[in-house]
Amino acid sequence: MLTIAVSKGRIYEEALPLLAEAGIVPTDDPKTCRKLILNTTRPDVQLVIIRATDVPTFVEYGAADLGIAGKDVLIEHGAESLYEPLDLGIARCRLMTATRKNAPPITGRVRVATKFVKIAQRYFASLGIQAEIIKLYGSMELAPLVGLADCIVDLVDTGNTLKANDMEPRDLIMNISSRLVVNKAAMKMKNAPIAELLAQFERTLAQR
Ligand code: AMP
CATH of the domain at 29: 3.40.190.10
36 shares its domain with 102: no
Whether the predicted pLDDT of 105 surpasses 90? no
Query: pLDDT value at position 151?
Result: 98
Of 103-107, 121-125, 126-130, the one with minimum mean pLDDT is 103-107
17 shares its domain with 74: yes
Question: Averaged over 57-83, what is the pLDDT?
Answer: 96
Q: How far is the C-alpha of 27 from the C-alpha of 81, rounded, in Å?
A: 31
AA letter at 16: L
User: Residue 160: which domain range?
Assistant: 94-174
> What's phi and psi for 13, nearest 5 deg?
-60, -45
126 shares its domain with 155: yes
Q: How far is the C-alpha of 143 from the C-alpha of 146, rounded, in Å?
A: 6
CB 58 within 8 A of CB 48: yes
Report the percent of the chain where pLDDT is more than 70: 100
Characterize the bridge pairing of strands 2-7 and 130-135: unpaired
| Ligand 1 center from residue 73 Cα (angstroms) | 13
160 shares its domain with 79: no
**DSSP secondary structure letter of residue 26:** B
170 shares its domain with 71: no
170 shares its domain with 103: yes
Residues paired with 193 in a beta bridge: none
Report the chain's mean pLDDT, rounded to a whole number. Answer: 96
Per-residue pLDDT of 151-203, as tens digits, reads 999 999 999 999 999 999 999 999 999 999 999 999 999 999 999 999 999 99
82 shares its domain with 134: no
9 shares its domain with 87: yes
CB 103 within 8 A of CB 144: yes
CB 151 within 8 A of CB 131: no
Per-residue pLDDT of 15-57, as tens digits, reads 999 999 999 999 999 889 999 999 999 999 999 999 999 999 9
Helix (H) or strand (E) holding 50: strand 45-50
Q: Domains in the chain: how many in total?
A: 2
109 shares its domain with 155: yes
Task: Give the list of residues 6+ apart from residue 146 with CB closer than 8 angstroms, or none.
Answer: none
Q: How far is the C-alpha of 112 from the C-alpha of 121, rounded, in Å?
A: 9
Per-residue confidence band for 108, with pLDDT thresholds at 50, 70 and 90: confident
- Ligand 1 atom with the smallest distance to the CA of 91 is 19
70 shares its domain with 136: no
Q: What is the pTM of this model?
A: 0.95
To test the pocket of ligand 1, the residue of 6, 11, 155 to mutate (highest count of ligand atoms within 8 Å of its CB) is 155
Q: How far is the C-alpha of 96 from the C-alpha of 20, rounded, in Å?
A: 32
Q: Which residues line ligand 1 (CB under 6 A)?
A: 10, 70, 91, 93, 154-161
Whether the predicted pLDDT of 106 surpasses 90? no
| Ligand 1 center from residue 158 Cα (angstroms) | 8
Whether the predicted pLDDT of 86 surpasses 90? yes
Using CA atoms, how far residue 88 sits from 51, 69, 173, in Å, is 19, 10, 20
102 shares its domain with 165: yes
To test the pocket of ligand 1, the residue of 157, 170, 172, 174 to mutate (highest count of ligand atoms within 8 Å of its CB) is 157
84 shares its domain with 7: yes
